[in-house]
């Protein structure tokens, strides 16, 4: 397994020093899937669900973008990066909403955590806005789908 990357020579938690890394174009794509169930999906009209709290998917897109932008404030050793682009898209399939968060940056460090956070926050927002309709909602998965730039690229099969 090798050395722990976030532990310094004295055994204390520490950020990774990225000052010697090269700046590269980086992109990360994360996905969250929310099982809403038939009761909630019956309310889907023109690609949107409206509740007393407002338009669910539109609100989740805004929340996901805000979450991605605040990632470094939430995760202790995550480097703050000025994102060049963040897109949160929501599609539906059957009784599920599929959230895709794509983040791009030109930086010395990756942007995977921003994409994962954006997708997660959008999923949690959907849950919050729909919970009055059903407590059977389930956030099924959140995972990194792809990353490019840095040492190695990754794409989930």
The residues annotated as belonging to the active site are 128
Give the whole-angstrom CA distance, residue 1 versus residue 97: 36
Q: What DSSP element (H or E) covers 130?
A: helix 112-130
């Amino acid at each position: 397994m090798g050395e722990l990357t976030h532990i310094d020579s004295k055994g204390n938690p520490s950020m990774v020093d990225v000052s010697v890394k090269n700046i590269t174009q980086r992109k990360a794509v994360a996905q969250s899937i929310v099982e809403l169930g038939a009761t909630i999906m019956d309310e889907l009209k023109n690609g949107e669900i409206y509740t007393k709290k407002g338009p669910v998917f539109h609100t989740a897109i805004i929340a996901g973008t805000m979450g991605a932008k605040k990632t470094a404030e939430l995760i202790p050793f995550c480097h703050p990066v000025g994102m060049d682009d963040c897109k949160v898209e929501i599609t539906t399939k059957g009784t599920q909403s599929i959230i895709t968060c794509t983040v791009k940056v030109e930086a010395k460090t990756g942007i995977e955590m921003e994409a994962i956070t954006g997708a997660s926050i959008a999923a949690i927002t959907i849950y919050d806005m729909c919970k009055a309709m059903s407590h059977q909602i389930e956030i099924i998965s959140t995972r990194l789908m792809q990353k490019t730039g840095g040492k190695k690229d990754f794409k989930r099969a």
